[in-house]
Structure 1
Amino acid sequence: MKARERLIVALDVESVDDARAMVAALGETVSFFKVGMELAYAPGGFDFARELKAAGKRVFLDLKLHDIGVTVERATRQIARLGLDFLTVHAFPQTMAAAREGASDGALKLLAVTVMTSYDDADLKEAGYACGVAELVARRARQAREKGVDGLILSPLELASIRPLAGSDMLLVTPGVRPEGADVGDQKRVMTPRQAVAASADYIVIGRPITRAADPAAAAEAVVREIAGA
């Protein structure tokens, strides 16, 4: 895979107009975009996702589905009809199994969210989990393989330990990636693009360090060069 294809830019903006302007500003420097909940639920958000796909871009719909099995299955089946590339679900066994059923007839790849990159061990303890981040990510990685999920969302800090569990065929997609010197914002488990790819990430997701840069295309190109040098 080429370095440019590994970069997914998160369009975490308020409106479709803002997203279109950012895509235009990035031009040919970016071929893969993430449409998260903020943009997807904005007026015209899902239509915009299809617009991106029709324009030759790859699209990652980041909805983090989690509900009773029948609802997840039906929602996933509807999303699969959009013709997009990636969809996220939370990595609970029932949720993953239901989503797999819903996506069974199409090319949509399912990514299971293991532990949010804004969480650490203290956050999991506060939420009532008896284990820490590393143990929970490993458990959910094993369960994702059992349920036939295509890939995982995890922080770059877990990549090296999870790749042997996931195998070479499972996609590892990591947010929590920040260029050297960038503000980490609300992320708690981070690496640079070079470090994440060297640790076996298939794709890295970056938003604000690119979309809020004075020159988004130049910022994206710098990340591509860093990936290429990993």
Structure 2
Amino acid sequence: MELSMEKPVMIALDFKNQGELKHFLDQFPAHVKLTLKIGMELFYGLGPDIVRDIHEKGHDIFLDLKLNDIPNTVEKAMVQLGRMGVQYTTIHALGGSEMIRAAKRGLTAGAKEAGYQTPKLLAVTELTSISETQLHEEQNVGLSMSEQVLKLAELTSQFGGDGVICSPNEVEYLKAKLPEDFLFVTPGIRPAGAEKGDQKRTMTPAEAAVAGSSAIVVGRPITLAEDPVVAYQTILSDFLSK
């Protein structure tokens, strides 16, 4: 079971404690290198030590904290994240150009200080739980969802970001308008026949591959599966088959 590092399946570790996490990871063969997404629940519950523990096991880490604050605060926070040896981390593109630039500056400085490569800086555009109606009626945005996401992706690229977190439904539209090496990391992935849960804009792994996703994020279809290893292998195979 080999993982393509160029097109990773990022497993969202939506666990509330270290025991659940250990039980999940122990089911995978020791030689398998995974890409694991640590989100707010796990990070706020267990702190930076969980990042270091997973890093020491040889897995790649997507630290998804979605920073969104004034540029100086975000820059200082990113220095700390850059020191951890993660491969990917996130901000909100809605934080604006100066915040994006400051985030990349802090991330680069922290990684250099610790002797790591600079993590990929990914920006959240619009959450996959946001519908077109909510975009207009709750966020008061006059653009269509595709236009809004494109504007935020272009802003990210212009000011130092490496890619965006976006719905798989927007990838094909975005790829034609952004640099070739720009990354499109897509949550909202569900195997054929699976429940959508709270995700409103979804695709299967194979559909996301055809659309041009650089990486996909999958949580519950793997972590809650009867056999997580088989579920992961199936999703990985589907994503890499296109």
Q: Same fold (TM over 0.5)?
A: yes
1:79 and 1:58 map into 2 onto residues whose CA distance is 14
Letter aligned with residue 85 of structure 2: G
Please list every run of 5 or more consecutive structure 1 residues that lacks an aligned counterpart in the other structure: none
Inter-CA distance 215–4: structure 2 relative to 1 (3 Å threshold): farther
1:193 aligns to 2:205 (yes or no): yes
CA contact (8 A) 1:110 1:150 kept: yes
Q: Following TM superposition, by how much is the alpha carbon of 1:52 offset from its aligned partner in structure 2, in angstroms? A: 0.9
Letter aligned with residue 225 of structure 1: S
SS across alignment from 1:165: coil
1:204 and 1:40 map into 2 onto residues whose CA distance is 20
CA contact (8 A) 1:159 1:199 kept: yes
Corresponding pairs, count: 228
CA contact (8 A) 1:29 1:217 kept: no
Which of 131, 141, 144 is equivalent to 1:120?
Answer: 131
2:232 and 2:214 map into 1 onto residues whose CA distance is 17
Q: Deviations over 1:65-124 (max 9, x none)?
A: 001111001001111111111111000323212201211233121100011011111111
Letter aligned with residue 40 of structure 1: F
Letter aligned with residue 98 of structure 1: A
CA contact (8 A) 1:13 1:38 kept: yes
Hey, what does 1:22 align to over in structure 2?
24
CA contact (8 A) 2:92 2:123 kept: yes
2:102 and 2:49 map into 1 onto residues whose CA distance is 25
Hey, what does 1:39 align to over in structure 2?
42
1:7 aligns to 2:9 (yes or no): yes
SS across alignment from 1:101: helix
SS across alignment from 2:37: strand
Hey, what does 1:53 align to over in structure 2?
55
CA contact (8 A) 1:72 1:95 kept: yes
1:198 and 1:30 map into 2 onto residues whose CA distance is 24
2:61 and 2:108 map into 1 onto residues whose CA distance is 19
1:143 and 1:89 map into 2 onto residues whose CA distance is 13
Once the two structures are overlaid, the 10-residue window that deviates more, 220-229 or 150-159, is 220-229
CA contact (8 A) 2:33 2:60 kept: no
SS across alignment from 1:100: helix
Q: Following TM superposition, by how much is the alpha carbon of 1:4 offset from its aligned partner in structure 2, in angstroms? A: 4.3
Q: Following TM superposition, by how much is the alpha carbon of 1:19 offset from its aligned partner in structure 2, in angstroms? A: 1.3
1:132 and 1:146 map into 2 onto residues whose CA distance is 21
2:207 and 2:22 map into 1 onto residues whose CA distance is 30
1:39 and 1:124 map into 2 onto residues whose CA distance is 29
Hey, what does 1:69 align to over in structure 2?
71
1:81-100 mapped onto 2 (5 Å cutoff): 81-92=83-94, 93=96, 94-100=98-104
1:206 aligns to 2:218 (yes or no): yes
Q: Deviations over 1:37-64 (max 9, x none)?
A: 000000x332111111111100000000
Inter-CA distance 61–222: structure 2 relative to 1 (3 Å threshold): same
1:211 and 1:30 map into 2 onto residues whose CA distance is 16
Q: TM-score, normalised by structure 1?
A: 0.94
1:164 and 1:52 map into 2 onto residues whose CA distance is 36
Letter aligned with residue 165 of structure 1: K
Moved runs in structure 1, 4+ residues, more than 3 A?
2-5, 26-30
1:176 aligns to 2:188 (yes or no): yes
Letter aligned with residue 103 of structure 1: L
Hey, what does 1:134 align to over in structure 2?
146
| CA RMSD, Structure 1 to Structure 2 (Å) | 1.4
Letter aligned with residue 64 of structure 1: K
1:166 and 1:118 map into 2 onto residues whose CA distance is 24
Hey, what does 1:110 align to over in structure 2?
121
Q: Following TM superposition, by how much is the alpha carbon of 1:30 offset from its aligned partner in structure 2, in angstroms? A: 5.7
